[in-house]
Amino acid sequence: MSERRNEEQGRHRRFTRRAAMLAGGQVLLLGALAGRMYYLQVVEAEKYKLLAEDNRINIRLLPPPRGQIVDRFGTPLAVNRQNYRVLLVSEQVRDLDASFDRLDRIVALDADDRERIRGEIKRKRNFVPVTVKENLSWEQVSRIEVNAPELPGVSIDVGETRHYPYGDVLSHIVGYVAAVSEKELTGDPLLELPGFRVGKNGVEKLHDEELRGTAGTSQIEVNALGRMIKELSRQDGHPGREVVLTIDAGLQSYVHQRLANEQSASAVVMDIDNGELLALSSVPSYDPKPFNIGLSRKQWLDLVNDPLSPLSNKSIAGTYAPGSTFKMIVALAGLAGGIGADHKVYCPGHMTLGNHRFHCWKRGGHGSLDLEGAIQQSCDVWFYDVSKRVGIDRIAAMARRFGLGEPVGIDLPGERGGTMPTKAWKLANLGQHWQGGETLVNAIGQGFVLTTPLQLAVMTARIASGRAVVPHVTRGLRGAGGVELVRPEAPKLDIPEAHLDIVRAAMDAVVNSARGTARGSAIEEPGWEMAGKTGTSQVRRITKAERAAGVIKNEDLPWRRRDHGLFVAYAPVDKPRYACAVVVEHGGGGSSAAAPIAKDIMLETQRRDPLGNEPLPLVAQGAGQKA
């Protein structure tokens, strides 16, 4: 009995101990749980509150308005315009093909459009809107709104798109914007926004970062799936700066229109004192709008395969033999080499060097001429003689002082430098020694010499002003912290003024004397007279047999075998302010094709007198900064 009682007491004590241990464990567990809850809810409250807010609130970038581009007087050249686009939310659409068919009656949707939209729907969540079409007309927007009950999941959104009021008139200068490519992604989140555009050419590309501005932000409340519930707050960004150009849009329009009758041509007008470009035109041109909204493959191939190269800015990238417009450089090289302005050469219509005959453009010859007469009548033989005495290297050195043979540094992408040959250049590039006859050919602007219309305008401006002006199209930037681009005064050329005066007088005679090659294009208005020089650039070799039978006239040749026509000028003669260069591809002679165009351009330039009108101020009085 006693043993049984002892056994029960032992069992009771064991049970009591186990119960106590279990209760203690429960208390310990509850204490740990309570401690953890306290730690999470009190000690770590801020941390988890922030994490919860991050899951509940999305920060979205808001693209800033792109800065405008305006001309020297404030005329808009590139602006932003409302862009109506139609969006589609796939989760609200039962039959995608049926929705496409209904929309196709209002906005055309081809197979490529449908494939693109399906691809975007697959990549995005089904409640995220997908862009169907952009740049809708008001009529299309109205029709979509009226038919909204039959178009579930379809809505209209309003954004901004780039608009170019002058279209192809200024596309080679202003450029265009287009979608960001993969190689242009730099980590800037702004570039990854759907529909964001960046500058791809011209001023749009040159000043892209200044034109972009800074992005704004929007706080969006979303649910656990990321669906937008409401906008909590918005902070707008800062629009891009306004870029002010040196161009006069009115003069640019006139120049473009004056060239429009030619198959391919270019013209440049500039301020001879500071290098401001007032007009820079190249035809044919292109419409920048399709690049913004997206070029079709056919549109791109049409532009690329066009034999007249509308995408090329021929004013800065077209290279041509300068023909007789180069003769002023040879004359200056001769003067620098000690050959006087009274140096006379008899022209019988040709010059013989070794066993080769070099012809003058005038078959019967010009007779005896000095420097002024040689430029006035564009005698080739006089320049053959002088070039033999001076040599190609000294001619090339003079040419470079006037902006030929290398890029002149215009603030536009795509400039080419042309070619100004020397003996060393030929040996390095062709592996051949220089021949004496090549000096003669290059002295009349043929052979290896290649220049751009811009270089010819710069050469003319430097002759007229005596200063090493550098051309540019940007006057400055306007906006918050406005910047005025201050350029130092162009330095004087290391050329005796007397030598420049001799050449200027000869250029005056080219246009305003009875025997000048451009006398038919003289400006009659008193005080507006221009000085200039004609040039004809051959693109084919004239054989001995053809010379004997009679040289075929340009108008009787296929267009691509005709000579280029060139003309350079400055005006007014007495107080030069404006310089001009015109190149008409395969237009024939410079006096017949290019000089009449230059006359009209110089007349219009002086009539408008952009340098005499007050330009748009860049920086408010006492504000901004200079760079």
Q: Is 324 a catalytic residue?
A: yes
**Among the listed ranges 212-221, 270-279, 458-467, 573-582, which one has the minimum average pLDDT value?**
212-221
- Give the residue with greater pLDDT, 522 vs 540: 522
Question: Does residue 234 surpass a pLDDT of 80?
Answer: no
Tell me what the pLDDT averaged over the chain comes to: 86
Q: What would you report as the CA-atom Rg of the chain, rounded to the nearest whole angstrom?
A: 37
Q: What is the pTM of this model?
A: 0.83
Q: Are 266 and 283 in contact (CB under 8 A)?
A: yes
CATH class of 60-245: alpha beta
- Give the residue with greater pLDDT, 259 vs 145: 259
pLDDT for the residue numbered 442: 97
> How many other C-beta atoms lie within 10 A of the C-beta of residue 254?
22
Average pLDDT over residues 227-240: 66
Question: Does residue 492 surpass a pLDDT of 60?
Answer: yes
Every domain of the chain with CATH number 3.40.710.10 lies at 319-607
Average pLDDT over residues 420-447: 96
Per-residue pLDDT reduced to its tens digit, 530-550: 999 999 988 766 655 555 556
Average pLDDT over residues 404-415: 95
**Among the listed ranges 83-97, 320-334, 415-429, 475-489, which one has the minimum average pLDDT value?**
475-489
Beta bridge partners of residue 231, listed in sequence order = 220
Q: Are 565 and 543 in contact (CB under 8 A)?
A: no
Under the banding of pLDDT at 50, 70 and 90, the label for residue 508 is: very high
Under the banding of pLDDT at 50, 70 and 90, the label for residue 94 is: confident
pLDDT for the residue numbered 226: 47
Average pLDDT over residues 308-337: 96
Catalytic residue, from 171, 264, 281, 324: name it: 324
Angle between helices 497-512 and 327-336 (to 10 degrees): 150
CA distance 120 to 115: 9
Q: Are 459 and 568 in contact (CB under 8 A)?
A: yes
Identity of the amino acid at 376? Q
pLDDT for the residue numbered 422: 97
pLDDT for the residue numbered 82: 82
pLDDT for the residue numbered 283: 96
Query: Tokens 């110089």 label which residue?
Result: 602
Per-residue pLDDT reduced to its tens digit, 18-74: 777 777 777 777 777 776 676 656 665 665 454 454 455 666 667 788 999 999 999
| Token duo for residue 269 | 């007008």
Q: Are 216 and 59 in contact (CB under 8 A)?
A: no
DSSP at 418: -
Every domain of the chain with CATH number 3.90.1310.10 lies at 60-245
pLDDT for the residue numbered 561: 77
Average pLDDT over residues 137-153: 84
Count of alpha carbons within 13 Å of 446, Cβ hemisphere only?
20
pLDDT for the residue numbered 627: 45
Under the banding of pLDDT at 50, 70 and 90, the label for residue 223 is: low
Instruction: Please calculate the CA angle 563-445-600 and round it to the nearest 5 degrees.
Output: 60
Under the banding of pLDDT at 50, 70 and 90, the label for residue 132 is: confident
Element housing 64 (H / E) = none
Under the banding of pLDDT at 50, 70 and 90, the label for residue 478 is: confident
Under the banding of pLDDT at 50, 70 and 90, the label for residue 10 is: low
CA distance 218 to 237: 10
- Give the residue with greater pLDDT, 294 vs 285: 285
Nearest CA among 229, 212, 211 for reference residue 220: 229
3-state DSSP assignment of residue 292: helix
Using left for φ > 0, alpha for ψ between -120 and 50, and beta otherwise, residue 447 falls in left
Under the banding of pLDDT at 50, 70 and 90, the label for residue 183 is: confident
Under the banding of pLDDT at 50, 70 and 90, the label for residue 385 is: very high
Average pLDDT over residues 346-373: 93
Under the banding of pLDDT at 50, 70 and 90, the label for residue 432 is: very high
Question: Does residue 304 surpass a pLDDT of 80?
Answer: yes
Average pLDDT over residues 284-290: 93
| CATH code for the structural domain at 319-607 | 3.40.710.10
Beta bridge partners of residue 477, listed in sequence order = 243, 483
Nearest CA among 169, 317, 160, 170 for reference residue 245: 170
Under the banding of pLDDT at 50, 70 and 90, the label for residue 128 is: low
pLDDT for the residue numbered 120: 75
Nearest CA among 73, 70, 64, 106 for reference residue 88: 106
Average pLDDT over residues 419-437: 96
Average pLDDT over residues 549-566: 73
DSSP at 68: P
Most confident of 175-184, 187-196, 330-339: 330-339
**Among the listed ranges 519-528, 553-562, 573-582, which one has the minimum average pLDDT value?**
553-562
**Among the listed ranges 55-69, 127-141, 579-593, which one has the minimum average pLDDT value?**
55-69
Question: Does residue 570 surpass a pLDDT of 80?
Answer: yes
- In the chain, DSSP finds a helix count (H) and a strand count (E) of 22, 22
Most confident of 45-49, 355-359, 376-380, 620-624: 376-380
Average pLDDT over residues 61-88: 88
Q: Are 219 and 61 in contact (CB under 8 A)?
A: no
In the chain, pLDDT over 70 holds for what percent of residues? 83
CA distance 246 to 119: 45
CA distance 267 to 279: 8
Average pLDDT over residues 278-299: 90
pLDDT for the residue numbered 126: 73
Range 1-8, long-range pairs (CB < 8 A, 24+ positions): none
3-state DSSP assignment of residue 610: helix
In the chain, pLDDT over 90 holds for what percent of residues? 56
pLDDT for the residue numbered 40: 59
Angle between helices 327-336 and 392-401 (to 10 degrees): 110
Range 504-507, long-range pairs (CB < 8 A, 24+ positions): 504/463, 504/464, 504/531, 505/372, 506/328, 506/331, 506/371, 506/372, 506/374, 506/375, 506/376, 507/328, 507/375, 507/463, 507/531, 507/532, 507/533, 507/569, 507/570
